[in-house]
Structure 1
Amino acid sequence: MRYRELGDVGEVTEVGLGTWNIGGDWGDVSDEAGREAVRAALDAGVDFLDTADVYGDGRSERHIGHVLDERDAHDEVTVATKAGRRLDPHTAAGYTAENLERFVDRSHENIGEGTLDLLQLHCPPTDVYYEPDVFDALADLRARGKVDHYGVSVERVEEGLKAIEYPGVETVQLIFNPFRQRPAELFFEEAARRDVGVIVRVPLASGLLTGTIDRDTEFPENDHRNFNRDGEAFDVGETFAGVPLDAGVDAVEALEPHVPEELTLPQFTLRWILDFDAVSTVIPGSTSPAHIESNVAAADLDSLPHRLHGAVRDVYEEYVAEHVHDRW
């Protein structure tokens, strides 16, 4: 496993584990399956786990805390969690110092840590990025030892660019994959210039970039790939990276012939993401230990040749860009 700097947080493994799916919104996942996913990631060498207080109403955080407790590994793993989406209604006005501290205290209890390694605002309304008081509240939480570091998770590139104007923001989490390429145009350059860590989520486009989904694939009622196809529950960019399913399947079919025989499509995708130096870590999620191990192996692969990067760009421009490029 290779390591990269995550802003001032320190070195983390190039491939981490995203744990939305072990909390909720991905169909039924048992408690033991969720915990076993965390164990599998740690066994594969992962030392960066990403979660949020709303993933299963804290279930994901509790799974992480349980496994770290049983292995006495709290000091060996960086846990990044998120706060803000518990607000109802989810409005900029709710991002007060009092609410943020309340959310942080709840995450302390769930994870079993008195200080959060990394707290991220959880895709707040755009207006929040223009409220210095919010970032002052984060700085105060850090000064009082409730969080070690803080950053943001964003939907749009413009939000990330605004967030890194605040000097205390050490990380930005966003969607980046062969079907969401806009961050590479300007954001990565600015993040690198400011030494801001970049966490890449939704790297496999909600499973599209595993090659196992077709137009007729059916998903459980409680899977966001069923109930959020058009953004009914939250930003549609979180589901299939915002790509309409039919267009996404066409794009995968066009991409697959370019994948070297020795690689799986997920490994090819993760390696493509890691070829961008500004990326600090990528956080695919899975409940399959075998898939987790395979994903982690992408960190040790050689960089893809320029011709394959060109092929990915061609597929993006032909099948995907019109749906996503100017929206996020």
Structure 2
Amino acid sequence: MIYKKVAKINEEISAIGIGCWNMGGDWDSSEESKSIDVIHAAIDMGVNLFDVAPVYGWGNSEKVLGKALKQDGLRNKVLIASKAGLTWDKPHHTANNLSKESLLKEIDDSLMRLQTDHIDIYQMHWPDPNVPLEETAEALNIMKKAGKIRYVGLSNFAQKDVEKMMEYISVDCQQSLYNMLERNPATYHGIPLDYRTEKEVFPVVKKYGQAFLPYSPLMQGLLAGKFLDGMTISKHDIRNENPKFSGETFKVYQEGARKLKAFADEIGKPMNEMTLNWTRQREEVTSIIGGASSLEQLKHNIHCTEWNLTDEEIAKINEILVPFENMD
């Protein structure tokens, strides 16, 4: 495993992290015992960053991660990066809420589900235009002083708001949508994004020494070679809610993915490994948040740290990616 360190976070962070979204039941299937096996295997292979959120599986993902880390005293070997700011009611209608009152309740609920006394990186999941940044920062400062969180992260925030938040509290980490085909995306699952990753987030991350955790690095499986040969998405799969996975837009993304698959075949590497390798070699990227629903997928993800694309190979990949620099 390769580890990276940034100025804002005094920790060695594994270049490959594990995203726990699919451990909460939002994808095709999610078996708790299998998820726990994947978590344990990931730690054995050197992974020390696990990204989760209360809203994933309506609290279930945090519970699964907490249960896995409770076994064999694994909690102190890893960094938990959880989130706050997306609340829900019984019919599972979500709402943005970064108010002080809500956040102070959320942290305690997450700590209980995770069976821990602190969260290492606490990320605000989405902006809340109805709550002043100063109020959100006040809640986070209370948590830090109480020892409930160690570092603060912002996810999906406009960079002007990131810099404004830094007037009230240290912002140590950012998380944004980023992969080969979504380099400066304007939407995620139809939700407008107030940032452009390469153009806006990367300069800020470098300027302040923040960690950067890209999510959806394989574009929900497309960059792992799925959906290139007629494979269809099941009706219960959350990818059906992503407009980029339908119509003419999807055909354009598929064509880009096919070209990347052909190049991966040319250099003799699995497509998902090549994709993650390219992403890992971006200097702004600290740890890639990738899902791993099986031990085989986990091994493929981690294997991307055991070799490097050459400068010439990266240049050829970048030629393929030119049409996607500003595509959404």
Match of 2:73 in 1: 72
Is the Cα–Cα contact under 8 Å of residues 120 and 150 in structure 1 kept in the other structure?
A: yes
CA contact (8 A) 1:22 1:34 kept: yes
AA paired with 1:310? A
Residue 8 (structure 1) shift:
1.7
Look up the match of 2:122.
Answer: 119
Q: TM-score, normalised by structure 2?
A: 0.86
Residue 213 (1) aligns with residue 232 (2): no
Deviation at 1:222, TM superposition (A): 2.8
| 1:191 aligned residue | 205
Pairing of 1:1-328 with structure 2 (within 5 A): 1-6=1-6, 7-87=8-88, 94-125=97-128, 131-154=133-156, 167-182=169-184, 183-214=197-228, 216-226=230-240, 228-230=241-243, 244-259=249-264, 260-302=266-308, 304-318=309-323, 320-321=324-325, 323-324=327-328
Report the CA distance between 1:311 and its aligned residue: 2.9
1:36-76: CA deviations, max 9, x gaps? 22122112211111111111111111111111111211111
CA distance in structure 2 between the aligned counterparts of 1:76 and 1:185, rounded to whole angstroms = 35
CA change 1:159–1:41 in 2 (3 A) is farther
Counterpart contact for 1:164–1:191, Cα < 8 Å? no
Moved more, 2-11 or 135-144: 2-11
Report the CA distance shift for 1:159/1:261 in structure 2 as closer, same or farther (over 3 A): farther
Distance 2:296 2:27 in 1: 18
Specify the code of the residue in structure 2 equivalent to 1:3: Y
Q: CA deviation at 1:163?
A: 5.3
Measured in 2, the distance between the counterparts of 1:22 and 1:167 equals 31
- CA separation in 1, counterparts of 2:165 and 2:256? 32
How many percent identity over aligned positions? Answer: 24
Question: What whole-Å deviation, never above 9, does each CA across 1:141-198 have from its counterpart, x for those lacking one?
Answer: 1112121111111166666566566541100011221112232334223212211111
| 2:256/2:321 contact within 8 Å kept | yes
CA-CA distance at 1:87 after TM superposition: 4.5
Mean Cα displacement is larger for which, 253-262 or 276-285? 253-262
Compared CA separation, residues 159 and 37, structure 1 to 2 (3 A): farther
Aligned residues: 311
8 Å CA contact 1:174, 1:200 repeated in 2: yes
Q: CA deviation at 1:281?
A: 0.5
Give the Å deviation of 1:24. 2.5
Q: What one-letter code is carried by the residue in structure 1 that aligns with 2:327? A: H
TM-score (norm 1): 0.86
Task: Give the drift of 1:310.
Answer: 2.9
Three-state SS of the structure 1 residue aligned to 2:57 is coil
Cα distance in 1 between the residues matched to 2:140 and 2:296: 38
Query: Which has the larger share of strand?
Result: 2
Equivalents in 2 of 1:185, 1:223: separation in Å? 31
Q: What is the DSSP-based 3-state SS (H/G/I as helix, E as strand, rest coil) of the residue aligned with 1:217?
A: coil
Q: 1:167–1:100: structure 2 CA closer, same or farther, 3 Å change rule?
A: closer
Cα 1:271–1:170 shift into 2, 3 Å:
same
Partner secondary structure for residue 149 of structure 2: coil
Q: Which amino acid is the alignment partner of residue 205 of structure 1?
A: M
Q: Quick check: 1:85–1:124 contact (8 Å CA) kept in 2?
A: no
Amino acid at match of 1:107: S
Instruction: Note the C-alpha offset of 1:246.
Output: 1.5
Q: Structure 2: where are the runs of 5+ without partners?
A: 185-196
TM superposition shift of 1:19: 0.8
Query: Where do 5+ consecutive residues of structure 1 fail to align?
Result: 231-235
Change in 2 beyond 3 A, CA 1:177/1:47: same
Distance (Å, rounded) in 2 between the aligned partners of 1:126 and 1:47:
33
Query: Match of 1:295, SS?
Result: helix
Deviations 1:282-309 (A, max 9, x none): 011021101101211112212x233333
SS in 1 for 2:284: coil
CA distance in 2, matches of 1:287, 1:66: 17
Residue 191 of structure 2 corresponds to none
State how far apart, in whole Å, the 2-side matches of 1:59 and 1:33 are: 14
Secondary structure of the residue aligned to 1:56 is: helix
* CA 159–262 in structure 1, closer or farther in 2 if over 3 Å, else same: farther
